[in-house]
Structure formats: structure tokens, C-alpha cells
Amino acid sequence: MSTDSSPAALQGGLDVPAVVPGAVCHRGVVYAERIGYRPLLMDVYVPVRPAGPVPCVVWVHGGAWWEGDRRFLPPIWPAGSLFAELVAAGLAVATVDYRLSREATWPAQAEDVADAVRFVRAHADELWVDAGRVAVAGDSAGGHLAAMHALTATGDTAVQAAALLYPVTDLHDWGPGESPWESPAESPEAILMGCLPDDDPEAWRAASPITHVHAGAPPTLIVTGDADLVVPPRQSQRLHDALVAAGAHDVELDLVPGADHCFGGVDPVPVLRRVVGFLADRLRAG
């Protein structure tokens, strides 16, 4: 059974079913409030009765930047599976909402992820997490946001590891026939940016993780299916190769044979366990 615990400073008022066994669940925590927007919420799952503060993974959901919810993983994964695997490995997980692209355009989403990391660190004592061992992870559009944060954050929002699942790494990199949108203006990337690439090419370049590779990147695992029909696998390959070329010391790429987007067509559980194992190893080593 999961255990609810909502210290007064962390109460957010959202009551949803807990999905993570063996965890203390802080649900509906308000981590940021911005005038004119809904409060931004996170759920934080911490292993019950840890020996001391535990590392924390900030999870950023996918959904083409215009949909998705912190509470739900891709529907073809077992419900709550990744969160449960993280807790079972002795890690906390903070799964976060952010402003969607029809609510606010870039860089609002990056600001929200940074505020989520900052909140976790500011409330580390209350949450019983280790402020010095924080990772960021996400899938698809969330993988893009996690990658941007891992590669650009400094100071109190810098992270110690990253796991990127079939991430968008270059907003420009879509070949003929790879985008299902009849009009470029209807694409998720254009909605996110609020303009077409020719209107502001520098903004599109700056919003692409591949632009920001550097030797000091945190330990990073990139995982994608080699049959992904939504985000071309080469986007993951290119980011991996660019990080290695830049001198990043700990970068791994897993190409999952036969897997489509969200690891469709294969059993996702072993893949998710690989992700959890990487994060647990790098955070404990830190």
C-alpha cells in the first residue's frame, strides 16, 4: 500500500489515486504559481522509511508539448510502472506538470522544468530527498525538455544525471514524409515555438538540445526504438554522437530492436528497468 503524506508546506489539494506501492506520496504539490496560468503541480513519491535522504528523479511527461499529465505514463506501459521501479530501486521521483504549448510558447516549458528542480531542492528536507543527487528524465517531448535542462542548467538547477527516452533533439530534423502534419504551422514544433522555423531560425536552433552539447554534460542515457515512426531514431543517435565528440565522459545510447515510439511492439518493462538502473547507479555514485 502507498502512504499519503502531505506536510502543510507541500499541500496542493489534488486528490488522485496513488499508484506507487511502497512509497510515501506527496500528491498535487504546487511547485510554481504564475499570474494568468493554472498552478503547476507535481507528485512526489519517496520510498517508505529510507535510511537517509534519497536521490530524486524529476520526470517530465511527453505528449507533443501540447498534451499529457504528470500522473500518467504512456498507456502501453503498465500503469505506474516506471515510478514503481524507481521507488523500488531506492529513488524518489517527482513527476511534474508544465505549461502546455497552447497555454504558453517556448521557453515557458523550460522555465517550468527549472522551477520544478529548484522546488525539489528547496524542499529536500521535507521530502526526505538528497538535494545534491537529482536527475532529470522524460519521454518524447518530455525527453526534449529533460535534455534541454540537463545540457543548459547551471547553479541550483544543475542535475547529476539524465535519462532521455526517444527524445526530440533537433526541432529542424524531420525528413520528407516524416511529419504527419499537412501544414508546417500545425506541427507540434511550430505550436511550441509560436512561429515557423524560417520566421526565427535562431530561436528554433536555441530550443534544440543538439545545439547545447558540451564536455561537462551530466551522465546521460538515451534510449529509443530503432523502429520509431514518430521521432526518428537518428535524433537520438545524433545527440549521442555530438556529446561524445564534444568530450562528454559518460554518455550511453540504447537502440531497442523492433521498438516503435513509447517502445511499442516490445515489452517495455526491461527497457524501463535499464533506465532505472542507469539512474540509480549514477546518482548513488555521485
Catalytic positions, please? 140, 228, 261
Which amino acid, 254? D
Burial grade of 202 (CB within 10 A; 0-12, 13-18, 19 or more): exposed
- Evaluate the omega torsion of the peptide bond into residue 107 and state whether it is cis, within 30 degrees of 0: yes
Q: What is the DSSP string of 159-171?
A: -SEEEEES----T
Beta bridge partners of 138: 60, 164
Cβ neighbours, 10 Å, residue 161 = 25
Nearest to 182 by CA among 173, 190, 171: 190
